[in-house]
Structure 1
Amino acid sequence: MSQDNIFREVDEELRSDRMRALWRRFAPYVIGAAVGVVAIVAVNEGWTWYHANNAAQSSDELYAAFDAIDGGDLASAQNQLTALSVNGSGSYPVLAQFRKAGVLARQGDIAEAVAAYDELANTQSNPRLRELALVLGATLMVDTGTVADVESRVGSIAAEGSPLRNAAREALGLAQYKAGDFAAAQASFEAVVNDPMAQSNVRNRMGYYLAQLLSQGAIAEQPATADAAATAIDEIVSDEAPAADVPAATTEAEPAAQ
């Protein structure tokens, strides 16, 4: 029994020596790998914090520019938006560029605003942002450009399936109305009215346009046109009706509808 114990102890000692030898051989690699994992985690966390901190700062800068716009200090707002579009983090530079173009339009610099929207449309990889820039630029071109100017920007967006199709159709219809092409304007406005996805306020606005065309005798009265115009007129009458003229039952029902 004592010999067995001696052999067992010798065997365990040999195993221990082998393990120590293996550890001495591979320890640098194991420790290095562990340090590498820790370093990667630390860098990732630091990068995440850096971007989050920069995004929060960019958000504050954007809202500061909005406050300047609301306060009428457009020159200061433009400077802040320009700095944010250059040095901002995340999606804030793009938002700043859109808002900067809007401020240019508000200042009366329509040509520069349209150029800014066109640049956004040409540089954005997101197709929805491209379409938004084109629609905003086309809307400005209604008063200062031609039907061709508007159509070149939103002609394809006015097609079925585009989320901004009704905004594009409205801009195109207004440009056609301004150019005296009343039949084309009627078709553009009625396309919005007949779109089941159009919001009620947008559909009513098209009704106002159609009612104007009817009152001018610029278009022939058709069932769809007459219905849209009648709806628009009803909206105008109901909005302008004095509170005393509204039936009591209707007045009491309004809070429930809200």
Structure 2
Amino acid sequence: MSQDNIFREIDEELRTDRMRALWKRFAPFVIGAAIAIVALVAVNEGWAWYTKSQSASASEELYAALDAAERGDLAAAQAQLDALAANGSGSYPVLAEFRKAALAAEEGDVAGAVAAYDALANAQSHPRLRELALLQAANLLVDSGSLADVEARIATLATDDNRMHRVARELLGLAQYKAGDAAAAQASFEAVLNDPLTQTSVRNRMSFYLAQMLSEGSAVAEELPAATPVEGEAAAPAADEPVAE
């Protein structure tokens, strides 16, 4: 193996490690934003399944499954979710399927979780739920899959007319960065940063990603806005501050 190839492999490993460190830190905020968008749209559009579930008493089966998962009894949680998915009423089967996919990811079965989210996306008639499933799959594939895997699921969501476009562009940017396409990653992050409707916390994340890339020499230097402290979310560190695993 030539010296150039050795250095290239080392650079790719370092870039992947940096991406994983960034994603471990910020992934909950990104996916949380997608879930919040779905909930907001559900309320605004008056989804019958959503409002019915919200007004009714919470399903004992679902809460029992969530409680079992919280306690670490994954076998019991899986059994309860399977039963709810098969026999539940209203929105509960859909909620159970989403939770089953998340549980598979938590157990380390990323391929199974991605397949479950893909199946959910294919089965959903409502676009917002379909998009949420695709984003959840892409979220897992940022780390475990290829750029093509991520693009296949969410490239069509990264358009200005889609409510999820900021989340999709952030995921694409991370996948592009991992794949070594710094120019595309920078463009994705800047598209979110320059969107006038982007929330402060999200804009801070984009600034941090770009500053991190700039410190590595992989981004074209541009003046970046200073991060604004946001209550409830950790402020992004300085560009030269290492990201802890």
Fold shared, TM-score > 0.5 on shorter chain: yes
Give the counterpart letter for 1:83 in structure 2. A
Give the counterpart letter for 1:185 in structure 2. A
Q: Which residue of 1 aligns with 2:169?
A: 169
Report deviation, 1:98: 0.5
Q: Which residue of 2 aligns with 1:218?
A: 218
C-alpha contact (below 8 Å) 1:85/1:92 kept by paired residues: yes
CA distance in 1, matches of 2:73, 2:164: 31
Give the counterpart letter for 1:217 in structure 2. G
Q: Given the superposition, is the C-alpha separation of residues 172 and 232 from structure 1 closer, same or farther in structure 2, using an over 3 Å criterion?
A: farther
C-alpha contact (below 8 Å) 2:147/2:175 kept by paired residues: yes
**Is the aligned partner of 1:183 residue 2:183?**
yes
Give the counterpart letter for 2:80 in structure 1. Q
Give the counterpart letter for 2:188 in structure 1. S
CA distance in 2, matches of 1:232, 1:131: 30
CA distance in 2, matches of 1:103, 1:237: 31
Q: Given the superposition, is the C-alpha separation of residues 156 and 236 from structure 1 closer, same or farther in structure 2, using an over 3 Å criterion?
A: closer
Report deviation, 1:130: 0.5
Name the SS for the 1:89 alignment partner. Answer: coil
Report deviation, 1:211: 1.2
Which blocks of at least 5 consecutive residues in structure 2 are unaligned? 1-51, 239-245
Q: Which residue of 2 aligns with 1:18?
A: none
Q: State the aligned residue count.
A: 182
Q: Given the superposition, is the C-alpha separation of residues 65 and 210 from structure 1 closer, same or farther in structure 2, using an over 3 Å criterion?
A: same
Name the SS for the 1:156 alignment partner. Answer: helix
Q: Which aligned pairs between 1:19-98 and structure 2 lie closer than 5 A?
A: 59-98=59-98
CA distance in 1, matches of 2:75, 2:190: 41
Higher relative contact order (CA 8 A, sep 6+): 2
Give the counterpart letter for 2:120 in structure 1. L
Decide which structure has the larger Cα Rg and report it: 1
Q: Which residue of 2 aligns with 1:130?
A: 130
Which blocks of at least 5 consecutive residues in structure 1 are unaligned? 1-51, 239-258
Q: Given the superposition, is the C-alpha separation of residues 169 and 236 from structure 1 closer, same or farther in structure 2, using an over 3 Å criterion?
A: closer
Q: Given the superposition, is the C-alpha separation of residues 198 and 74 from structure 1 closer, same or farther in structure 2, using an over 3 Å criterion?
A: farther
Name the SS for the 1:79 alignment partner. Answer: helix
Name the SS for the 2:131 alignment partner. Answer: helix
1:48-82 deviations in whole A, cap 9, x for unaligned? xxxx9xx9687111111111122122221111111
1:93-149 deviations in whole A, cap 9, x for unaligned? 001100110011111100000000000010110111001100110111111111111
C-alpha contact (below 8 Å) 1:158/1:169 kept by paired residues: yes
CA distance in 2, matches of 1:135, 1:81: 22
CA distance in 1, matches of 2:213, 2:237: 19
CA distance in 2, matches of 1:196, 1:98: 32
C-alpha contact (below 8 Å) 1:193/1:203 kept by paired residues: yes
Q: Which aligned pairs between 1:243-258 and structure 2 lie closer than 5 A?
A: none
CA distance in 2, matches of 1:169, 1:77: 33
CA distance in 2, matches of 1:114, 1:76: 22
C-alpha contact (below 8 Å) 1:207/1:232 kept by paired residues: no
CA distance in 2, matches of 1:72, 1:213: 38
Q: Which residue of 1 aligns with 2:207?
A: 207
RMSD: 2.4
Q: Which residue of 2 aligns with 1:100?
A: 100
CA distance in 2, matches of 1:104, 1:207: 33
CA distance in 2, matches of 1:203, 1:80: 40
